[in-house]
Structure 1
């Protein structure tokens, strides 16, 4: 007997894909078979989304909650490698400036890149959640990268392009970076500068697969911890959704933005975001010419399909010139 929740999620995803590409060819390529069909043309990633969507449709509990900082729900880290040692993203009157730093490897300070992609986002979700649940700045991350990768829903594998190598690179980049946040309040312009990670304690070993510059302990900075926990700027999100979206940093950023924003819309009036607004907030990595704008719109709508599959409570409509956001329940009730 087919799973009703899975079938509903599958049909919802098919409908969303038809909205994004309403052409006959697009509908045919993305069509979803009936419950009686034994075949499915969906990709492996879509199957993962459907499985997660079906699970999420059954409900969420505190066990499913992880946390992201409010500011990073509005302006995210870069999604691809950055040329140079700094990166800035703006959204309205807020801006995030990320500067790369250095780490001591036992012999010398080594320049790290600006953190980018999906893995720093997953790492931050884990660090934030540990800090919120245990009310401590001292975060234990175990004695092996493999174990930590599995906790984040990433299958460990080696090689120059394997998950272990890239994960270690992004872990060090995140530990070394400095974040500067600028925002406007009325007629006042404010700047807050700090490092999420204050201390990075690592073992020195020749075993590249385990302890070589792998931290047994990370200490969050006092300022970051205070804003996250004491001032309650921790936004609860569903770890199952984050894992399902972990193939796309753009989808992850759209998801956390909606998780932070939709439940704050009041008065019954929707919020309209035009494509210029969305490019400013999410399109830093795209060209500003006509082709770049078209490419961003296509990628954004494709990512939004995935987000809505795992955030079914999100009420969003595509309108001429942009999208509209409606008041919606958060993916998980606020717990802090």
Structure 2
């Protein structure tokens, strides 16, 4: 089913014409539970990977706040809890029986960290035909994103980007290696999702605007509060009118708890531009106007383990974003990652 972002509550560029030239297109990916194949765009789905190409691994140091677990442990733990949440229960009945509780404890106990290379985990596969405005190197029609599902520097997974020509893949790799270690809580393991790309218009977060303009937007937002003082007030522009939440391509950076910093390519000095955003949820209490029209009615019956706002079940830090930036001069230059 397609997803439709409601029109913004206010045409902010009409009220503040200085914003008009800063408008950018972003493509909200709207990942939803599915069983995507290798020739479909997806989050957490299988990749169109050549059988003769070595599967990438991570050899960087890892940060282990808790013992790592296996990918199979994460999948089994989620399946156990999903079944439990969907099962009808009496008012005083526990979610898990003693045997299930013991199994859940075993699955979450973890194991000693491996010291060798850790195979990467598929995060997203984007066919350019499905994502308006997405462009890659000459001849490439497919972007694949993988990461090592453990914490690295800045407490985030280490991502890699691969561009390829899907027509030239040939024989496919059907049984890619799984990571040996995954973060203890499985926060970096995306569940398989089909995508429903939708272009939207974004404007910069207040942090990236001239100070005077940001101050006027804040003052204007204060004037939108209800008579009882409710509403986002000064943060109205930031939450509802600037940067769209959720997994997306392009657009602006979702700056929030940290200030923007210069992000220039070390190879050529060009300013990086946003390519791909991983979000910990598609909406929250402060961004209700971004909820797609098709998701506004609460689901009938139990929803299981997955929150409706987070079908991939990925959590970055305490509910943050991981954004990947690329150099506009060359796709061969290193990309940049930031948690915001």
TM range (shorter): under 0.3
TM-score by length of 1: 0.25
- Work out which structure has the larger RCO, using CA pairs closer than 8 Å and 6 or more positions apart in sequence: 2
The structure in which a higher percent of residues are helix is 1
TM-score by length of 2: 0.25
